[in-house]
Structure 1
Amino acid sequence: MMVSTAAAGPDPLAPTAPSLRRRMACWLYEGMLMFGVVFIAGYLFGTLSQTRNAMDNRLGLQAFLFVIFGIYFTWFWSKGQTLAMKTWNIRVVGLDGQAISQPRALLRYVCSWIWFLPPLAAVAPFALPVGETMVILLGWVAVWALLSRFHPQRQFWHDALAGTRLVGSLPLSR
């Protein structure tokens, strides 16, 4: 007996992710947009803490930015898209294809630090120059991005850990 899959169509809950090139372009654009967030948050932190030198309160500023980034990404991911994701027509959804909750978005944010923490922790004891640290960091980012090729749906592994997926979305009509 042969079952027809033409009527059912492709499984909407198991699409592959947008292309790696598109996701990385979105990632780079997101990084550029984060400069504005860092600028405003840094100004706010410096004003509220009366920090006069950029090296004073450096750990406090880093912790503050970690929280601000968490708020930014958790808020927008729970709505489905950041500005960069809207530009590149990418949406973050749960495994069921629905919008993710704020706790799930927060889990995704924490898991997404796998992009940066392992190489930074590896170079910290060696006090390497900034150039060498950047080469190691960018090498890790490239490896981490390419590892998505081994996921069955080509998702980033932090999405798999958080129970989320990136999917293509149609642009909104204007």
Structure 2
Amino acid sequence: MQAAQATPAPATPATKPVKVETPTIRRRLMAMVYEAFCLFAVCAFAIGLYMLLTLNSQHPAAKFGMNVWLVATAGAYFMWCWIDSGHTLAMKTWRMKVVKVGHARVPFKTALLRYVLAWGWFAPALLVCWAFGLHRPGQIAIALAVGIVPWAMTALFDKDRQFLHDRLAGTRLIALPKRK
């Protein structure tokens, strides 16, 4: 028996790798401020809908349900944007996009993981406020600042300047070029 010989694939010209830039930390933080305003509008609409559906119930279960509803609404907003186009309105304005290497779009499981991990920006501060009974706006603001600063600094120690939640989720933020 004769061994089958494979024909060599035609040589293709070497493709030049595309240089992917990471947005600056300042630019990402500015986009987060813009995102807070967008998220405020989304949550205001969600609260109105929840109050309408629950007839503005003040029962403790309804109040807890409101918190769950807001976390789910924010998750749906972010995940839909990341999966659909790779960016939210704020990210589009600041010309950045979430990508997962090897995928045309961010997969659902990756988007969900990124959303859950992104709570690392706020969850520690919220837990401290809950544990120590901090309710005044100044106390909450200080707790949030103390929690947000270390999380933002994680990008300084990452070789690609990615935040911790992107590194752990396997995603990365990339800078988009200016439109001509």
Verify same fold: TM over 0.5: yes
Aligned twin of 2:54? 49
Deviation readout 1:114-136 (Å, 9 max, x if unpaired): 11111211231211232112211
Q: Aligned residues: percent identity?
A: 36
Aligned counterpart for 1:153 among listed residues 146, 149, 160 = 160
Report the Cα distance in structure 1 between the residues aligned to 2:163 and 2:15, rounded to whole angstroms.
28
Larger Rg: 2
Report the Cα distance in structure 1 between the residues aligned to 2:43 and 2:69, rounded to whole angstroms.
10
Aligned partner letter, 2:169 = A
Measured at CA, do residues 22 and 54 of structure 1 come closer, stay the same or move farther in structure 2, by a change above 3 Å? farther
The size of the alignment, in residue pairs, is 165
Aligned partner letter, 1:95 = V
Report the Cα distance in structure 1 between the residues aligned to 2:111 and 2:102, rounded to whole angstroms.
14
How many Å apart are 1:107 and its aligned residue?
A: 1.1
In structure 2, list runs of 5 or more residues that go unmatched.
Answer: 1-13
Aligned counterpart for 2:45 among listed residues 29, 40, 52 = 40
Deviation readout 1:72-119 (Å, 9 max, x if unpaired): 111100121100010000000013374211221111111111111112
1:111 matches 2:117: yes
What is the DSSP-based 3-state SS (H/G/I as helix, E as strand, rest coil) of the residue aligned with 2:98? strand
Aligned partner letter, 2:157 = F
Aligned partner letter, 2:51 = G
Deviation readout 1:4-26 (Å, 9 max, x if unpaired): xxx876664xx452000100000
How many Å apart are 1:172 and its aligned residue?
A: 5.2
Q: Looking at both structures, which has the greater relative contact order when contacts are Cα pairs under 8 Å and sequence separation is at least 6?
A: 1
1:165 matches 2:135: no
In structure 1, list runs of 5 or more residues that go unmatched.
Answer: 1-6
RMSD: 2.3
With the length of structure 1 as denominator, give the TM-score of the two structures. 0.85
Aligned partner letter, 2:71 = F
What is the DSSP-based 3-state SS (H/G/I as helix, E as strand, rest coil) of the residue aligned with 2:162? coil
